[in-house]
Amino acid sequence: MIPATPAIAQTAVPPSATLPPVVVQGSTIPIEETTAGPVQGFRALTAKSATRTSTPLEQLPQNIVVIPRSVIDSQSNVTLSETLRNVSNVYPMNSLNIGNVEQVPYKIRGFGAELWTDGFGGNLFVAGDREGLVNVERVEVLKGPNAILYGGGGGAPVGGAINIVSKLPTDKARYEAGITAGSYMFANPYIDFNQPLDANKNVLFRLTAEYTGSNSFIQVLNTRRFNINPTLTLTNRDGTSLTVQGFISEYHQQSYPGLPVTGTIVGDYRIDRSIFFGNPDIMSSYSKMSGMTATFDHRFDETWSVNVKGRWSQSEILQNSQSPFLDASGTGGTPFIPPSTFDVNNIQMYDAQQEFVINPTIQAKFAAGPSQNTVLIGGDYSRVTEVGIMPVDTLGNFCFLLGFGCTPSTVNLQNPFFPYRYTFPQIGVGEAAALFNYNATYVTKGLYGQLQSTLYDRVHLLGGLRVGSIDITYNEYATGTLVPYITSATRVLPRAGVVVDLTKGLSIYGNYSQGMKWVPFSQTFAQPAPEFSTTFETGVKLNIDDALTGTLALFQIQRTNVPVRISAVVANLTQQTSRGFEADLVYQPNRNWSVLGSYGFTDVFFAGQAGANIPAGNKIPYVPAHTARLWATYKFDESVLPGFSLGAGVYAASGQYVDPQNLWRTGGYYTVDAKVGYENEHVRASISAKNLTNNQYYVPYTWFGGQVAPGAPLMVFGQLSFKL
């Protein structure tokens, strides 16, 4: 199959965002050359995250799904989580979270996924304003392990990765300022300024920034978040450039502990779904991240080029919450005293990290006989230091549980009243004790080589090897004495894949890859080895007349040494398997219609006994077996309603287990969204509705293992921006 467009070289100077329309294979849809690569309507033509080279999607032996900026704007998305619903078998984090201790809040194909920005992970937690969209040029979602090219923090991703590709400066001045406002006092003003700083356009600057403030359909919650992203590019416009990106990002909100399963999805009574569990005067929690990324590119000639990327960052999370967890299940999901009385505990979680990572590569592109080849050789080094503590004050509940006659601190959720003020737990005062109190150092190193070859313009080969190592020193002080954990492992990780063009517009592919990642420590683990994974994937790639494009895939991932939380303070290491099918398609028959559709099926389960009450075959929690997304946009002709568009879509998901014991399961649900938009050269405006039918549903919520969160009700948003 001849790709719809050849791989367009990424020059040292990002091209202007407004190029003349380019017609491909008779299509009337223009191609826009963005700083992240060419885009045709809803369809990105190339991706860089999978191979660190700009490669046509049809030549990648893996299901790589790209959500370009055009989709984000067409749907009037207000959060990253909403954007990720477009991708099959991707389960985004609930946007109610703040500083949540979940270290893999995003999931792909049933397993934890990394969230990257420009190829770098977000430290070991996802800190800062993780929902903001002003600086997002596109989102590239990689399915399965990608251990060959990426390491850092606790190792290379094993479930998959979500790579946010940032906006970069261009050589054409461009300015945009606007605001999105909507339900529950939502307000999101933003700016995007791009300006060359000299007449020769050798110095390019871009600044994006946004602030979001809102209340919530959940009582008490008030959100304030912002991000600021200055970027400077120095270039000779002939193959050499240096780009420096700064970022400051913060998220402030009361920590939301979810609601217990009893009274929401099980039990003989129902509590108000808008209840905030905790004293209404509780102070906000925060999550912060800042740092700098530098990228140096130099092209020696048509064959050889080098790239060096480095990043320094720091993050800090402080989470203050009131929550139940002393029930019989150890999760807080069932009453402390039946039928509806729950314990109240003051909990704090603090974590601070600093990270340095560098990744140099050298690339060679050459022809040899009937083959076109790209060789990539590189390495990476990452060092992350971390300190953290998680004290808990049980406020007399533990003493009561032991039968010592103490007065417990409780709340009856059928008549909720929270008189217990939140105070910082002080170890040694009252019943306050530390669940965790640690410092740690994570060092990962890797050397890798990768070969991409195209034979006779019909067979596309990809192969690579990585020699990777993980060295972790974790010191735990929760018991009052130092308990050190040390892990050191080195492993050769292979990756291989092939795409064969059967006919014009139809290809088949297959791949095999391995991954290695850290296992988080606690006093519940006994010095675990790293986690390993193996993926097999096969599928079909389509490109029918540049109108119907996409991927159909079958996959299996096997993981060993995977931690699973049994209760608030107990965890086991397990074996897990994920199998499934997915389809990601874009249909654009003409300039008027753009349709995006996806469907995912995942059967993810424990492959061995995971605990006394978790037999082999139990389903992994937080994962719906079925998810589907359909969105269509219609743009009116210039002769009818110039600049106007209509869009509508539906998202559906089946029920999910809340706990690894498979005691509790939420129901399936769907939401309908719609949008009316207008855009011309200088103005963009839209009105959109989310959950148009106001469906009420619950989804599992990562806390102590027995919580759910209500889905957002009907919300309406309006957007207005001005462009120069």
Q: Cα separation of 290 and 248, whole Å?
A: 4
| Residue 525 predicted with pLDDT over 60 | no
User: Which residues have CB under 8 Å from 199's CB, separation 6+?
Assistant: none
636: β partners: none
pLDDT at 526: 52
The single-letter DSSP state of residue 197 is -
Domain ranges of the chain: 32-723
pLDDT in tens, 450-485: 999 999 999 999 999 999 898 988 898 888 888 888
> Which runs of consecutive H residues, i.e. helices, occur in 499-619?
none
Of 489, 470, 576, 492, residue with least CA distance to 111: 576
Q: What is the pLDDT of residues 634-659, one digit of tens each?
A: 999 988 999 999 999 999 999 999 99
* pTM confidence score: 0.92
The pLDDT of residue 597 is above 50:
yes
283, 97, 102, 208 alpha-carbon torsion, rounded to 10°: -100
The residue ranking higher by pLDDT, 546 or 153, is 546
Query: Nearest to residue 437, comparing CAs of 502, 495, 390, 380?
Result: 390
Contact 360, 379 (CB under 8 A): yes
Structure tokens given for 585: 């398609």
Task: Give the model confidence (pLDDT) of 301-343 as tens digits.
Answer: 999 999 999 999 999 999 999 999 888 888 899 999 999 999 9
In the CATH hierarchy, which fold is given to the domain comprising 32-723?
A: Maltoporin; Chain A (2.40.170)
Position 23 scores a pLDDT of 40
Instruction: Report d(CA 38, CA 335) in Å as an integer.
Output: 55
State how far Cα 311 lies from the chain centre.
Answer: 19
| pLDDT number for residue 79 | 95
Of the given ranges (107-121, 138-152, 621-635), which has the lowest mean pLDDT? Answer: 138-152
CA–CA dist 621, 700 (Å, integer): 8
Looking at the DSSP assignment, which residues form a beta bridge with residue 348?
Answer: 320
Quote the pLDDT of residue 242.
98
- Tokens for 448, please give them: 């890798």
Q: What is the pLDDT of residue 651?
A: 98
Degrees, nearest 5: CA angle 113-712-72: 55
Q: Which pLDDT value is given to residue 156?
A: 62
pLDDT band at 17 (very low <50, low <70, confident <90, very high): very low
pLDDT category of residue 101 using cuts at 50, 70 and 90: low
- Strand 259-260 to 285-299 pairing: unpaired
The mean pLDDT value for 122-133 works out to: 83
pLDDT of residue 348: 95
Per-residue pLDDT reduced to its tens digit, 401-437: 998 989 999 999 999 999 999 999 999 899 999 988 9
Tens-place pLDDT, residues 150-172 = 766 666 666 788 999 999 999 99
Q: What is the pLDDT of residues 659-685, one digit of tens each?
A: 999 999 999 999 999 999 999 999 999
The pLDDT assigned to 282 comes to 96
pLDDT over 70 percentage in the chain: 92
- Average pLDDT of the chain? 90
Q: So what's the pLDDT on residue 8?
A: 34
pLDDT band at 147 (very low <50, low <70, confident <90, very high): low
